[in-house]
A and B are shown apart, each in its own frame.
Chain A
C-alpha cells in the first residue's frame, strides 16, 4: 500500500505545483456549456421533465462529467511520457505490487478530477432550483465514481500507447464520442433508434444519468427516460472493475521478446 500512497501523494503535489493545468480542464467545458447551452436555450424540449427545463439546465450535468473526463484524460496522457522518460521508470523496477502502481496512479487522477468537477459543481444552486446540500454531496460522490472509471480507462489506454499522438487519436475517436453519446448533450428519447441503441451500451450513459439524478436529489425532476439509479451504479461499478483488472494485467507484463527467427 506504500506504492498507492507514494503515487497518490506525488500526483497531488504535482497538481498543486502546476495549478494552471486546472484552467484548461474547467474553462473549456464551461465555455461549451455557456455557448451551446445559451444557443439552444428555448428550442429544447426534454420529454417528461418539468416543462421549464432550459437547455442550459439540461446540459449542466453532462458538462460536469465533461470536466471530469477532460481532467482524467489530461492526467492520463502524462503517463505515456512518464513511463518512457520519467519517474514511472523507476517505479516499475521498485519492489512494489503492480496493483499498487495502477491504483496509486488512478486514485490520484480520480481525486483531482473529482475536485475539478467540484469547482464547477459550485454553480449548481444557480442552475437547478431544487439543489440542496445533500444533492450536492451526493453528486460529488458520483463524480468520484465516474472519475475512477474514466481515469482507469485513461490509464489502460495510456499504458498501451508509446506516443501521445496515439492517445489523441483514441481521445477523438473513442473518448469524446463516448461523451457525445452519453445523454450529456441530448436525451435518449427522441434520438434516432441506432443512436439510442449505442447510448444504451455506452457505460458513460449510466455515469451521466446517475450524476443527473444525484443533482436532483433522486427526484423525478431529473427526467423520466433515465435508467434506474441502482442500475447505473451497478454498470459503473462493473465497468470500473473490468478496466482496472485489464490495467493491472497490462502493467504486469514485461516487454516480451518477439519469436527468435532462424536467421544465421
Chain B
C-alpha cells in the first residue's frame, strides 16, 4: 500500500500512508478515534476511493480493479454484518454462495470452520439469540470461510467484555497460525496491538511509527516513571533542574523516561516529598510510544475503555 490519501469535505483524514503486510502476519493499525484508521480499512476493503495512492494485493490493484481483488479479501466489520434473523448456518451458507463456493465444498468448509470455532452445536440458532462474543466468533468464521489472502478487521473486539475479547483473540491467533492468511486490523487498544507482529501507529491521518511491538518499545528503552502531583509544573521544573530529566505532562500526570528506574524513583520521592502524591514505575508500553511520537495520549477521555496501559 503506497501513499494513500483521503479526505472528507473540509478535513483530510489520511495523508501519505504507506504500509506492507506479509503472509502469516498480523498488522495492527493503532490510533485514537478519528485518526483515520477506519477510513484506511474502508479503502482496503474496496468501499472507499482514495484521492491518491494505490493498494496492492499481490498483483491486483485494489483501487483500480476492486472487482478482482474482492474474492481474496475477507472483512470483519466493526458493526455486526450478520443477518440476525438468519441462523448461524444460513449466514455462513449465504456468504459462501456469494463467494462462489460450490455446494459440496461449501458444506464441508462450513462444518470444518464451525467445529474449529466451537459453534457447531449452535448452528441452527438464530444469530439474534447468541451472545455478543459468539456473534463475533461467527463473524470471524464468516470472514475466512472463502479462504481470503488478506483478512481486514475493523475494531474487531468493540463491545466485547474482557473475557470475550480474550477468547476472540485466541480464535484469531489460531486462525493465523493454521493458514497463510495475513491480517490487518485497526484498534485503539494497546494490548491488542501488542499481540500483533507489526504495529502502525496512526495519528491525525499519518503513520507516526511502524515496527514490531518490541522494536517500537525498544527504541524508548529504559523505564517509565509516572508521577502524580497537585502542582505538576513545579514538579516538572524541579526535576529538570535537579536531575536533568525532561518529562511530558499529560492527563494530570508527569511521564519520565529514565534508565534504571528502580534507583531513580526513591531519589525523586526523597527530593520532592511534598509534591509527589503517587508514583508508578513500569516498562515502556505502546501507549508510551504513542505519547512520545505524538505528544499526546492515545486516550484523551479517561472514561474510555480499559487502555491496557498498566
Asked whether A259 and B7 contact (CB < 8 A) given A9-B94, A94-B98, the answer is yes
> Are A91 and B98 neighbours in the complex by a CB distance under 8 Å?
yes
- Residues from chain B with a CB closer than 8 A to the CB of A14 are 83, 85-86
- Residues from chain B with a CB closer than 8 A to the CB of A250 are none
> Are B45 and A93 neighbours in the complex by a CB distance under 8 Å?
yes
- Residues from chain A with a CB closer than 8 A to the CB of B80 are 85-86
> Are A93 and B79 neighbours in the complex by a CB distance under 8 Å?
no
> Are B86 and A13 neighbours in the complex by a CB distance under 8 Å?
yes
0 or 1 for each of A93-126: is its CB under 8 Å from B? (1 = yes): 1111000000000000000000000000000000
The answer to whether A249 has its CB under 8 Å from any CB of chain B is: no
- Residues from chain B with a CB closer than 8 A to the CB of A94 are 70, 95, 98-99
Query: In the assembled complex, how far is the CB of residue A17 from the closest CB belonging to chain B, in whole angstroms?
Result: 5
The answer to whether A189 has its CB under 8 Å from any CB of chain B is: no
The answer to whether A43 has its CB under 8 Å from any CB of chain B is: no
Query: In the assembled complex, how far is the CB of residue B65 from the closest CB belonging to chain A, in whole angstroms?
Result: 11
The answer to whether A87 has its CB under 8 Å from any CB of chain B is: yes
- Residues from chain A with a CB closer than 8 A to the CB of B172 are none
The answer to whether A220 has its CB under 8 Å from any CB of chain B is: no
> How many angstroms from the CA of A3 to the CA of B49 in the assembled complex?
23
In the complex, which residue of chain A has the Cβ closest to the Cβ of B126? Answer: A17
The answer to whether B9 has its CB under 8 Å from any CB of chain A is: yes
0 or 1 for each of A1-16: is its CB under 8 Å from B? (1 = yes): 0110110011001100
0 or 1 for each of B172-208: is its CB under 8 Å from A? (1 = yes): 0000000000000000000000000000000000000
> Are A257 and B50 neighbours in the complex by a CB distance under 8 Å?
yes
> How many angstroms from the CA of A45 to the CA of B94 in the assembled complex?
54
The answer to whether A173 has its CB under 8 Å from any CB of chain B is: no
Query: In the assembled complex, how far is the CB of residue B235 from the closest CB belonging to chain A, in whole angstroms?
Result: 34
> How many angstroms from the CA of A18 to the CA of B63 in the assembled complex?
39
The answer to whether A84 has its CB under 8 Å from any CB of chain B is: yes
> How many angstroms from the CA of A87 to the CA of B82 in the assembled complex?
5
| Interface residue from A10, A18, A254 paired with B47 (Cβ < 8 Å) | A254
Asked whether A85 and B79 contact (CB < 8 A) given A13-B90, A258-B10, the answer is yes
The answer to whether B42 has its CB under 8 Å from any CB of chain A is: yes
0 or 1 for each of B45-68: is its CB under 8 Å from A? (1 = yes): 111111110000000000000110
> How many angstroms from the CA of A259 to the CA of B10 in the assembled complex?
9
> Are B94 and A6 neighbours in the complex by a CB distance under 8 Å?
yes
> Are A254 and B90 neighbours in the complex by a CB distance under 8 Å?
no
- Residues from chain B with a CB closer than 8 A to the CB of A2 are 97-98, 100
In the complex, which residue of chain A has the Cβ closest to the Cβ of B63? Answer: A254
> Are A6 and B99 neighbours in the complex by a CB distance under 8 Å?
no
- Residues from chain A with a CB closer than 8 A to the CB of B81 are 86-87, 89-90
> How many angstroms from the CA of A24 to the CA of B215 in the assembled complex?
61
> Are B98 and A258 neighbours in the complex by a CB distance under 8 Å?
no
> Are A90 and B85 neighbours in the complex by a CB distance under 8 Å?
no
The answer to whether B243 has its CB under 8 Å from any CB of chain A is: no
The answer to whether B77 has its CB under 8 Å from any CB of chain A is: yes
The answer to whether A172 has its CB under 8 Å from any CB of chain B is: no
> How many angstroms from the CA of A115 to the CA of B82 in the assembled complex?
26
- Residues from chain B with a CB closer than 8 A to the CB of A257 are 5-8, 48-51
Interface residues of B in 71-107 (CB under 8 A from A): 71, 73, 75, 77, 79-83, 85-86, 90-91, 94-95, 97-100
Query: In the assembled complex, how far is the CB of residue B154 from the closest CB belonging to chain A, in whole angstroms?
Result: 10
The answer to whether B12 has its CB under 8 Å from any CB of chain A is: yes
Query: In the assembled complex, how far is the CB of residue A84 from the closest CB belonging to chain B, in whole angstroms?
Result: 7
> Are B79 and A261 neighbours in the complex by a CB distance under 8 Å?
no
- Residues from chain A with a CB closer than 8 A to the CB of B49 are 254-257
In the complex, which residue of chain A has the Cβ closest to the Cβ of B154? Answer: A89
Interface residues of A in 125-184 (CB under 8 A from B): none
Query: In the assembled complex, how far is the CB of residue B77 from the closest CB belonging to chain A, in whole angstroms?
Result: 5
Asked whether A95 and B47 contact (CB < 8 A) given A84-B79, A87-B83, the answer is no
- Residues from chain B with a CB closer than 8 A to the CB of A18 are 85
The answer to whether B37 has its CB under 8 Å from any CB of chain A is: no
The answer to whether B236 has its CB under 8 Å from any CB of chain A is: no
> Are A261 and B7 neighbours in the complex by a CB distance under 8 Å?
yes
Query: In the assembled complex, how far is the CB of residue A85 from the closest CB belonging to chain B, in whole angstroms?
Result: 4
- Residues from chain B with a CB closer than 8 A to the CB of A3 are 98
Asked whether A93 and B5 contact (CB < 8 A) given A10-B83, A10-B86, the answer is no
> How many angstroms from the CA of A17 to the CA of B52 in the assembled complex?
45
Asked whether A258 and B94 contact (CB < 8 A) given A2-B100, A86-B83, the answer is no
Interface residues of A in 1-58 (CB under 8 A from B): 2-3, 5-6, 9-10, 13-14, 17-18
Asked whether A261 and B10 contact (CB < 8 A) given A10-B86, A87-B82, A93-B75, the answer is yes
> How many angstroms from the CA of A259 to the CA of B77 in the assembled complex?
26
> How many angstroms from the CA of A192 to the CA of B71 in the assembled complex?
58
List 5 additional A-B contacts (Cβ < 8 Å) besides A89-B79, A95-B71, A255-B42: A95-B99, A254-B48, A255-B49, A260-B5, A260-B12
What are 29 sample pairs from A and B whose C-beta atoms fall under 8 A apart? A2-B98, A6-B97, A6-B98, A9-B94, A10-B83, A10-B94, A14-B85, A85-B79, A87-B81, A87-B82, A87-B91, A89-B77, A89-B81, A90-B75, A90-B81, A92-B47, A93-B70, A94-B70, A94-B98, A95-B100, A254-B49, A257-B7, A257-B8, A257-B48, A257-B49, A257-B51, A258-B10, A258-B51, A260-B7
- What 4 pairs between A and B have smallest CB-CB spacing? A257-B51, A85-B79, A95-B70, A95-B71
